[in-house]
Every structure is written in C-alpha cells, then in structure tokens.
Amino acid sequence: MKLVFAGTPEVAVPALDALIASDKHEVVAVVTRPDAPAGRGRRLVASPVAERAEEAGIEVLKPAKPRDEEFLARLREIGPDCCPVVAYGALLPKTALDVPARGWVNLHFSLLPAWRGAAPVQHSVMAGDEITGASTFLIEEGLDSGPVYGTVTEAVRPTDTSGDLLTRLAFAGAGLLVATMDGIADGSLQAVPQPADGVSLAPKITVEDARIDWNAPALRVDRVVRGCTPAPGAWTEFRGERLKVRTAVLAPDRTDLAPGELSVGKKNLYVGTGSHAVELLWVQAQGKKPMAAADWARGVRIGAGERLG
C-alpha cells in the first residue's frame, strides 16, 4: 500500500523505520507536529519523526492543525491507501479521516479498551498492571474507540519505569503495525469492535498527579515514581522547594519511620510512608542536576525532625 505515516516523538520512530524497511508498502510522506522550541536557547527543533523522514528522503508535512485546507489538499493529492499513526499528538478531523481509502490506523500502547487516552503506559505502571501491550485500531472520531485489528502483550516488570516499558512497546508495536498493514493490504485482517466492558481512561499525567503522597503505602509511592519517570517526574517538597525523586526502591525492613520522615546513613537515604519505608536512590533538587540521594542528604544537612512533603 501507499502510506502516509503520522507521528511525532522518538517513540514513533521504530514504527516508521519498520514501515520504511517493509518491501510490501511505500511510505510516501510523513505528517508530524510543527517544529517546537527546545533547549536553553529555545530554538525551533524538528520532531524526531521529521528528522528520520528527512534522512530517508521522505516528504514531511507539518500542518499547524490537521484540518488546515492546504494540508488536506496535499493529502488528497498524494492519495494514500492508508495512514498509520503513532503518537501524532493532534486530533484528526473527519475531513482528514475520509481521505485514505483504508482509513487511519493507530498504534496505541495499551490493550484496548483499557487505558484509552494520552498516557496509557504511565497509567498502566501507576495502576500496578502486571500485563499491558499495544493495539492497532481503525481511528474513528471517538477517543481510541475504533475497532481493533491486532494486539501484542508485554509483561510489566517490577522495576519498570514508564520510559522502560514504552521503549519495549515501541519496538514490539512496530512489528504489530507492519503486520497490520500487511493484513489490511491482502484482505486477511478484519477489525473487531472493542468490547463495551473494561474501558478505562488514561488522560495526560499532570504535575499534580506526580506529587508523592507519603501517607500512601510504599507500593503506591513506588508506582508513582516509576510511572512518572521520565516525565513529568515524581516530586515532593523539602524546605519549601520542589525535590524530584528519580529512583526509589522498596525497603520493607524499615517500618520505624513516620510518613515523610527521613533517615540518613552513610550510603543510604530512607523515607517513611503509610506502610514501610522506601529508599531514595537518585533525586534532583530544584535547579540542580540529578545526584545520588545520600550525597544530596549530606549536602543539605538534614536536621532532626525534618520531613519530605
């Protein structure tokens, strides 16, 4: 099939690479978000998908909005058979959905109908799921509600951050997306409506969602830290300033600390929760670089009775 691929961040690049490498399809253009300011200089930078497409000599379309008439006219002119999508980052209007004969097919990083929305992997880790995966589905005007072509499953490991899990799903999902394109092209694959039961929503994680509640059980604290890593980053407060918790592990042997209470050793920093303690491994003070938690604790000279949160 003749394909127009839509995607923006780094997580979409493995799928684009897999489609480019396929000998059954041709990626004739890429749709991505406009260049965005990045870094200290805030200079405009192309998206990872745009950079990869340009390296491969593929036309790149960067509409401010996918309903822009200039973009729609170019899409109609290209006349794609199908438009595979991975983390594009904008809602597609019906005028765009109607262009490709075989529709727009999204690779979504959950086992639909679970975790419909912008942050499925983060919510999966924070909810304590043991199994998650990726799904390909035909995009409709509803939120991730279209019929499903296929799925792959992936175990959530006890130490997975959302970044770890998303990286694995990006590569597993790339293979699923190519197989879905193959099945659509040869007619062997039919989309199946999603069940009405088991729907859960995964809206974007806010900064407030990433705030650690030390009164919660240690298992919940651990899931928030892992689910919010690398973004937006789990955080707490110390002396009125924000402190990010980059890495932490459960410390079930320490049950002597009250929620938020700190215990500093030569090589360890423990903090109490609503159950047992957690050990902080890496933290990042406001305006500083990440550092070992025990080194941070020695540097700030934690006083008796000082707490996090």
Q: Each residue's pLDDT tens digit in the chain (309 positions)?
A: 999 999 999 999 999 999 999 999 999 999 999 999 987 788 899 999 999 999 999 999 999 999 999 999 999 999 999 999 999 999 999 999 999 999 999 999 999 999 999 999 999 999 999 999 999 999 998 899 999 999 999 999 999 999 999 999 999 999 999 999 999 999 999 999 999 999 999 999 999 999 999 999 999 999 999 999 999 999 999 999 999 999 999 999 999 999 999 999 889 999 999 999 999 999 999 999 999 999 999 999 998 889 999
- Give the pLDDT score at 141: 87
Number of H helices, E strands in the chain: 8, 15
Task: Give the DSSP letter of residue 12.
Answer: G
Q: Which phi and psi (to 5°) does residue 135 adopt? A: -135, 145
Kindly report the average pLDDT of the chain as a whole number.
96
Element (H, E) at 174: helix 162-186
Element (H, E) at 296: helix 293-300
Query: Which residues neighbour 175 within 8 Å (Cβ) at sequence distance 6 or greater?
Result: 18, 152
Element (H, E) at 263: strand 262-264
In angstroms, the CA 11 to CA 8 distance is 8
Side-chain-side CA neighbours of residue 219 (13 Å)? 4
Q: With 0-12 CB in 10 A as exposed, 13-18 as middle and 19+ as buried, what is 292?
A: middle
Place of tokens 């604290």: 221
Helix (H, G, I), strand (E, B) or coil at 54: helix
Reference 47, options 16, 9, 84; nearest CA is: 9
DSSP string, 271-286: EB-SSSEEEEEEEEET
Residue count (the chain): 309
Element (H, E) at 27: strand 26-31
- Give the pLDDT score at 302: 92
CA quadruple 164, 260, 242, 298: dihedral sign: negative
Stated pTM of the model: 0.94
For 155-206, write each residue's pLDDT tens digit.
999 999 999 999 999 999 999 999 999 999 999 999 999 999 999 999 999 9
In angstroms, the CA 50 to CA 35 distance is 9
For 196-219, write each residue's pLDDT tens digit.
999 999 999 999 999 999 999 999
